[in-house]
Amino acid sequence: MERSVQFDLGPTPSASPRPRGVLGRLLRQGWRSACLRRPSLDDLNAGPASLLVLLFAEALISVALERWMIDGPATFYAPAMHSGWLGTVVAVGLCWLVARNASHTVTVAMAPALFGVVIAQGIVIYLTSGSLLLAQARTEWLDAEGVSAWLPWLVWLLPGVWSWLAQLVLLLRFLRKSWTLRFALALGLSLPYALDLWWQPPQWWYPVATDARADKPPRVHLTQEVMERQAQLLPLALDAIGPQRPGVIDVYAITFAPYADEDVFRREGDLVASVMRERFDADTRTLQLANHRDTAVELPWATPLNLQRAIARLGAVMNVDEDMLFIHLTSHGAADGKLAARLRPLDLGIVTPAALKHWLDEAGIRYRVISVSACYSGSWVAPLAGEATLVMTASDAQHTSYGCGRHSELTYFGRAIYDEQLRRTYSFEQAHAAARSIIEQRERDAGKSDGYSNPQIAVGAAIRAQLARLETELSARRQR
């Protein structure tokens, strides 16, 4: 028999409540449910007009917040209104499901009020989390130095996670205790959120490119000219590598800057390459790999495959019994040893210590000097260390390095080691030792909050002896 007993809503009003009063009550209960508190559905006669007003207000807030997050001219993308409705349709169905299977004696008449609270809840969450995202977009405080790498992701995920959790808690409060129904509710509620993560819906607004926005994080323009030029750049660069000189310890150098969104890594690659050319007599033996919009037709892209091919070619050109290969990698780093790579819209692979060691071993390169300028780069030391290897890093495995923010000219490690110390000495060990105290003082002055980066170095006996011979040769050449 179908249940027909309803909530005791009190005396029947003589007239329908004014929409304005209903909207106020719905917003109050939406705020309560957004805070994961139990809302009161008493006297919530949500009619079609109230629900339409709430839906319109939710869309208007979304449009306004997206526009305010873009600094500068933007164009409105009208087709965006055709997408994003799956969540609304699912919410209608789930509210009906809960009303039909509520833990109290209710009827389907409860569904509109419940759906109204869901919409009001979304408005509250949009305004709260949207204000946080707007503050980030305007101040770029998440891009400041010292901010943990995971925090921007947390802020970006906050609205979706909060909305999903708040809706789930709200609907479960009224659903009767049935594991089958609860599982169906959680699965149905998760579907639109999962689809939004997998297939990003279009935005309401898109920025208009102007000269004032030229310093913003780029997307490389994949024109036919760029693609054809990139196919030529690495072979041309490898063909131009100077030959090995018998009886001379030649230094071959590779700089690898795979993170295109921040200019500091491209600048550091340029700096290190110039130091190797000028100070270590590697003028025709230096190869730069970089991801950046400004170098897309000048330098080969910094991809794992390009790095592997470059190492293999240099291993074939150099005299592995006397020459040495220097590699400098600069990017953001993760605690698991992965080096961040980005060149939108390309999908790039990740370089790891194990992969780099495998490529060096495969190429038969004996003498190696490896420099890693990245957060947590100390995790690269143990996998790469060896008798014929010097590996130095910008930090230990537990700390971030400093100076890799969007507004940085150079990283603290790159500036201290290459722009300052290696212009005075040919010794990587001396340069690293002198740079440690300089970096520590600069980090303290800058207010680095997670502790001293603690740059690391490991030097094998064979590479130390070979580097000593190289210093002698370079000093003699300089004197001549």
Can you list the domains of the chain with their CATH numbers? 19-209 (no CATH), 224-479 (3.40.50.1460)
Rounded mean pLDDT, 16-25? 62
d(CA 253, CA 323): 11
In this structure, are residues 349 and 303 in contact, taking their beta carbons and an 8 Å threshold? yes
Residue 420, phi then psi, degrees to nearest 5: -120, -65
Containing 287, the helix (H) or strand (E) segment is: strand 286-290
Residue 388 confidence class, pLDDT cut points 50, 70, 90: very high
> pLDDT for 217-273, tens place per residue?
556 677 788 888 888 999 999 999 999 999 899 999 999 999 988 888 999 999 999
Q: What is the pTM (predicted TM-score) of this model?
A: 0.58
> pLDDT for 89-102, tens place per residue?
888 888 888 877 87
Q: Which residues contact 23 (CB under 8 A, 6 or more apart)?
A: 50, 53, 54
Residue 269's pLDDT is what?
A: 94
Burial class (CB in 10 A: 0-12, 13-18, 19+), 20: exposed
Sign of CA dihedral 331, 428, 426, 451: positive
Residue 241's pLDDT is what?
A: 93
Name the percent of the chain lying above pLDDT 90: 38
Task: Please determine, for residue 375, whether its predicted confidence score (pLDDT) is greater than 80.
Answer: yes
Name the percent of the chain lying above pLDDT 70: 80
**Residue 350's closest CA among 402, 307, 312, 381?**
307
